[in-house]
């Protein structure tokens, strides 16, 4: 039986320190001793260059508390990720999210996954480039943010490991796997290659609505941790009112035996879950689109679609969407992003990387009626 540890928490430094230490210690269990002298990579969610109060990234107080906790257990700690917007340089993302300051204050190194090259790993004939840097560490501690996601409904522990794929390869996978089921196969493959020893999710301030970067901030006031990332994702989905088996990454990982997805087989410890459940947690506006059979969407493609639409009043013309579009379907014209729908595969990566939140998922009239 899997165990998930829940703890009320805030971003007040002393409280974050106390809560993160309790959650990691409880979840690591008898693995605590193995961390002495180990090289540990902390893998937060640094999706986009936004300040921590926007709830798009793991909060720096949670990252800082994890550094201090693991160092207290005798580990050597570094922090790394490959954000979707790293094509313009990862340093600006470290600084905007507050992670650079948290690491500098503790003398912890920041690892650039883009600079270290990559190694190939295969799962059932599917080949992935994984950041070579992660192989320099003895284990990974996963520090995701709880958010909704326009493609996978929820993003937390399992999906966060996709950041171990460096550079624009992430966009390439989205290009060839634009549907939730197919992309979830990719995400679970990467998770199975780069499996963390423990995951601790920042749900103090979560994101609902059209996440993972353009949703609303929801204060939930807790963290959750487990050595079983699949069980952790299942519990978090349940706490925000979502059936865990409707989250394609959770369902796929559980079916492969990579963790426990059944709530009745998961033991909860720490603070009572009933006190932490979130009412009226808004899901992405297009999430039911992924439940429609592929054959139907192909048959009705002309009338049944979900695609990105640019709010020209909000668009700054920064070009992040164009640089991150593996289908080359976006260009900057007159200082604004323009989508060529004859090239667009509706992977919706542009929504994720837009720093201004100017790209939204629009649905056709038929899609709105059906979903």
- What is the CATH architecture of 2-275? 3-Layer(aba) Sandwich (3.40)
The CATH code that applies to domain 287-370 is: 3.30.70.20
Domain ranges of the chain: 2-275, 287-370
**Residues 6 or more apart whose Cβ sits within 8 Å of residue 85:** 47, 48, 49, 93, 320, 324, 353, 355
Residue 154 main-chain phi, psi, to 5 deg = -135, 140
pLDDT values of the chain reduced to their tens digit, one per residue, 371 residues: 999 999 999 999 999 999 999 999 999 999 999 999 999 999 999 988 899 999 999 999 999 999 999 999 999 999 999 887 655 668 899 999 999 999 999 999 999 998 888 999 999 999 999 999 999 999 999 999 999 998 899 999 999 999 999 877 888 888 888 888 899 999 999 999 999 999 999 999 999 998 898 899 999 999 999 999 999 999 999 999 999 999 999 999 999 999 999 999 999 999 999 989 988 899 886 555 555 555 555 555 555 567 889 999 999 999 989 988 888 999 999 999 999 998 988 888 888 888 888 898 787 766 566 55
Contact 233, 198 (CB under 8 A): no
Contact 138, 73 (CB under 8 A): no
End-to-end CA distance of the chain: 36
């Amino acid at each position: 039986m899997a165990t998930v540890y829940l703890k009320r928490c805030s971003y007040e430094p002393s409280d974050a320190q106390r809560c993160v230490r309790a959650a990691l210690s409880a979840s690591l269990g008898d693995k605590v001793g193995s961390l002495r002298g180990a090289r540990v990579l902390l893998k937060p969610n640094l999706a986009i260059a936004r300040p921590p109060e926007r709830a798009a990234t793991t909060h720096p107080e949670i990252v800082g508390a994890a550094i201090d906790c693991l160092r207290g257990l005798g580990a050597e700690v570094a922090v790394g990720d490959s954000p979707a917007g790293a094509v313009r340089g990862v340093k600006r993302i470290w600084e905007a999210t507050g992670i650079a300051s948290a690491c500098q204050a503790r003398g912890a190194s920041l690892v650039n996954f883009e600079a270290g090259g990559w190694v190939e790993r295969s799962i059932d004939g599917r080949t992935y480039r994984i950041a070579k840097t992660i192989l320099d560490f003895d284990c990974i501690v996963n520090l995701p943010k709880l958010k909704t996601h326009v493609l996978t409904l929820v993003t937390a522990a399992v999906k966060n490991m996709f950041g171990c794929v460096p550079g624009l390869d992430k966009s390439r996978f989205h290009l060839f796997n634009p549907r939730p089921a197919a992309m979830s196969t990719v995400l679970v493959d990467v998770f199975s290659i780069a499996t963390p020893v423990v995951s601790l999710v920042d749900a103090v301030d979560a994101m609902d609505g059209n996440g993972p970067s353009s949703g609303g901030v929801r204060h939930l006031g807790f963290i959750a941790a487990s050595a079983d990332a699949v069980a952790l994702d299942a519990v978090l989905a349940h706490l925000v009112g979502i059936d865990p088996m409707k989250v394609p990454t959770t369902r796929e990982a559980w079916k492969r035996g990579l963790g426990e997805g059944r709530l009745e087989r998961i033991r909860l410890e720490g603070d009572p879950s009933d006190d932490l459940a979130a009412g009226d947690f808004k899901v992405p506006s297009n999430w039911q689109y992924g439940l429609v059979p592929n054959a139907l969407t192909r048959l009705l493609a002309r009338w049944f679609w979900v695609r990105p639409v640019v709010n020209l009043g909000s668009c700054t013309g920064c070009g992040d969407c164009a640089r991150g579009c593996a289908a080359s379907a976006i260009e900057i014209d007159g200082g604004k992003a323009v989508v060529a729908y004859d090239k667009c595969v509706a992977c919706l990566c542009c929504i994720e990387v837009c720093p201004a939140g100017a790209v939204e998922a629009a649905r056709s009239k038929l899609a709105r009626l059906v979903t």
